[in-house]
Structure 1
Amino acid sequence: MKSLKVVFFGTPEFAKNSLKAIHESHHEVAGVVTVADKASGRGQKINESPVKTYAVDNNLRVFQPEKLRNPEFLNEIRNLNADVFVVVAFRMMPKILFEMPEMGTFNLHASLLPDYRGAAPINYAIINGEKKTGATTFFINEKIDEGNILLQEEIEISADENAGMLHDRLMEMGAKLVVKTLDGLADNSIQEKPQPSVEHPKNAFKIFKEDTRINWNMNSESIHNFVRGMSPYPCAFTTIKIGEDEKSLKIYEGKFEIYAHEKTPGSLEIDKNQFKIYTKDGAYFPEELQLEGKKRMNVKAFLNGFQHFDSISR
């Protein structure tokens, strides 16, 4: 089978697995483009992206441009004479860059396009209670996540799977799909096709802090899906009052029950063994949580130390 010369663009762990799969295949990684190293944490330690760490460990040529339109960078990439560019969890690319290789530039996206275009497809698939999702490879064009589809694969979402678990499964599946796409392009066996026309595709916009607050006026199952879809990152939260103080409470995991009651959604019932928060149509029982300033813990350990909550702040 023909070997393609590839330039890879990516940053996080999700992308690293695809780079690894390409590098271990018969295709050639001519270069790797990732973000610049960043200082973070209390000591402002310089951190490399997972993609850079893998590339350096495997003696792959790395590029870390501040700007993708930089003429010097564009010239260096052009001189690699790649057949195709592969993009996984990177940033917006200018047309001058994605049109450079003869075969084009394709992206791996963690949804069944056209649904869940955007930055957080894994989170929103779970938040919306989907029973299945998948991964798609598609040619990049000037619109976000709207290019012609190359390959697509589905997986089932299990009832209690959270975003982190689904992320890891899609990361493995997506890496294989990337190599399968390269193979198909190499032997000309893939027929690209336009994305289906959908009047109202489901969106997966970037999640900001204010988007992660739990609305206790929702029904129990929707709250459960919201917590799952935000766990472990960025994590759903509520605020509680302890005396005169109001503190943030992250909830990573829990269970729910549906039953009629006359309690106000968001009101609490707490004893030494149980932490119950009333919802619109039942109750939610946090099982893994983290109070502001404290470490993550299970509900039993949590209640041993904190039993005097006044209310949920809605």
Structure 2
Amino acid sequence: MKSLKVVFLGTPEFAKNSLKAIHQSHHKVVAVVTVADKASGRGQKINQSPVKIFAVENDIPVFQPEKLRNPEFLDELRNLNADVFVVVAFRMMPKVLFEMPKMGTFNLHASLLPDYRGAAPINYAVINGEKKTGVTTFFINEKIDEGNILLQEDLEILPDENAGSLHDRLMSVGADLVVKTLDGLAENSIEEKPQPQVEFPKNAFKIFKDDTKIDWKKNSKEIHQFILGMSPYPAAFTTIHIAEEEKGLKIFGGKYEILNHSKNAGSLEISKNEFKIYTNDGIFYPLELQLEGKKRMNVKDFLNGFRNYDEIKMA
């Protein structure tokens, strides 16, 4: 089978697994393009992307351009004479870049396109209670996540699975699909297909802080799926008062019960052994929590940190 020369573009752990799979295949990664190193934390420690760390450890040349239209950067990439560019969890690319390789540029997306185009497909698949999702490789064009499909792989979403667990499973399936796509392109055995037209598409817009707040007026199952879909990152939250001080409270998981009650949605009942939050149609029981300024913990440890439960109120 023909070995393809690949330029890989990506940044996070999800992308690193695909890079590793290509590197371990018979295809050759001739360069990696990733985000610039960033300082973060109290000590302003310089952090490198997982993709860069892997590339450096395996002697793969790394490019970290501030601007993807930089002429010098484009000339250096062009001189590599790569057959194909592979993109996984990267930023928007200019046409001059994605049209450069003779076989084109394909992207790995963590959904079954055309469903869940956008930045957060894994989160929204869980939030919306989907039973199935998957991964798609497709050729990049000038429209976001709308290029011709190459290959797809289905994956069942497990009961009560959160976005973190699903992310890890899709990361593994996606890495395999990237290599299968390269093999198919090398053999000229893949028939690319336009994406189906969908009247009411399921979108996966970028998630901002305000989007992660829990609406306790919704039904218990919706709240449960919302919390799972935001866990462990960016994490769903609510706001409580502790002795008149307002604090954010992240909730990573729990269980719910459907029942009739006369309580206001969002009201609390807390005792030594139980934390209840009333919803529109029942009760939600948080099991994994993180109070603002504290570490993540189970509900028992959280409750053990208080002497007076009456001082805890919903904000």
Residue 134 to residue 309, structure 1, CA distance change in 2 (3 Å):
farther
Q: Which runs of structure 2 are paired with 1:55-70 in the superposition (5 Å)?
A: 55-70=55-70
AA in 2 matched with 1:169:
R
Q: Which runs of structure 2 are paired with 1:90-129 in the superposition (5 Å)?
A: 90-129=90-129
Instruction: For residue 23 of structure 1, report the CA deviation from its aligned partner.
Output: 0.3
Structure 2 partner of 1:234: 234
Structure 1 partner of 2:313: 311
Instruction: For residue 311 of structure 1, report the CA deviation from its aligned partner.
Output: 2.3
Query: 1:49-102 CA deviation, whole Å, 9 max, x = no partner?
Result: 000000000000100000000000000000000000000000000000000000
Structure 2 partner of 1:260: 260
Instruction: For residue 312 of structure 1, report the CA deviation from its aligned partner.
Output: 1.6
Instruction: Give the match's secondary structure for 1:31.
Output: strand
Structure 1 partner of 2:82: 82
AA in 2 matched with 1:312:
M
Does residue 6 in structure 1 map to residue 12 in structure 2?
no
Separation in 2, partners of 1:204, 1:309:
38
Structure 2 partner of 1:47: 47
Query: 1:205-260 CA deviation, whole Å, 9 max, x = no partner?
Result: 10000000000000000000000000000000000011221110000110001111
Separation in 2, partners of 1:308, 1:88:
49
Structure 2 partner of 1:144: 144
AA in 1 matched with 2:160:
D
Instruction: Give the match's secondary structure for 1:198.
Output: coil
Separation in 2, partners of 1:219, 1:159:
18
Instruction: For residue 31 of structure 1, report the CA deviation from its aligned partner.
Output: 0.5
Separation in 1, partners of 2:300, 2:242:
18
Task: Let me know the Cα RMSD of the aligned residues.
Answer: 0.6
Contact 1:255–1:287, Cα closer than 8 Å, also in 2: yes
Contact 1:84–1:104, Cα closer than 8 Å, also in 2: yes
Does residue 168 in structure 1 map to residue 168 in structure 2?
yes
Separation in 1, partners of 2:314, 2:18:
43
AA in 2 matched with 1:52:
K
Separation in 2, partners of 1:308, 1:51:
49
Structure 1 partner of 2:17: 17
Instruction: Give the match's secondary structure for 1:186.
Output: helix
Structure 1 partner of 2:203: 203
AA in 1 matched with 2:96:
I
AA in 2 matched with 1:281:
D
Structure 1 partner of 2:72: 72
Separation in 2, partners of 1:222, 1:43:
40
Query: 1:22-61 CA deviation, whole Å, 9 max, x = no partner?
Result: 0000001010000000000110000000000000000001
Moved over 6 A (4+): none
Instruction: Give the match's secondary structure for 2:204.
Output: coil
Instruction: Give the match's secondary structure for 2:118.
Output: coil
Structure 2 partner of 1:225: 225
Structure 2 partner of 1:155: 155
Instruction: For residue 308 of structure 1, report the CA deviation from its aligned partner.
Output: 3.6
Contact 1:240–1:309, Cα closer than 8 Å, also in 2: no
Instruction: Give the match's secondary structure for 1:284.
Output: strand
Separation in 2, partners of 1:261, 1:178:
51
Instruction: For residue 262 of structure 1, report the CA deviation from its aligned partner.
Output: 1.1
Instruction: For residue 159 of structure 1, report the CA deviation from its aligned partner.
Output: 1.2
AA in 2 matched with 1:25:
S
AA in 1 matched with 2:313:
S
Instruction: Give the match's secondary structure for 1:113.
Output: coil
Percent sequence identity over aligned pairs = 78
Structure 2 partner of 1:26: 26
Instruction: Give the match's secondary structure for 1:36.
Output: coil
Gaps of 5+ in 1: none
AA in 2 matched with 1:187:
E
Does residue 299 in structure 1 map to residue 299 in structure 2?
yes
Instruction: For residue 309 of structure 1, report the CA deviation from its aligned partner.
Output: 4.0
Query: 1:284-307 CA deviation, whole Å, 9 max, x = no partner?
Result: 000000111111110001001133
Q: Which runs of structure 2 are paired with 1:262-281 in the superposition (5 Å)?
A: 262-281=262-281
Instruction: For residue 144 of structure 1, report the CA deviation from its aligned partner.
Output: 0.3
Separation in 2, partners of 1:20, 1:173:
13
AA in 2 matched with 1:282:
G
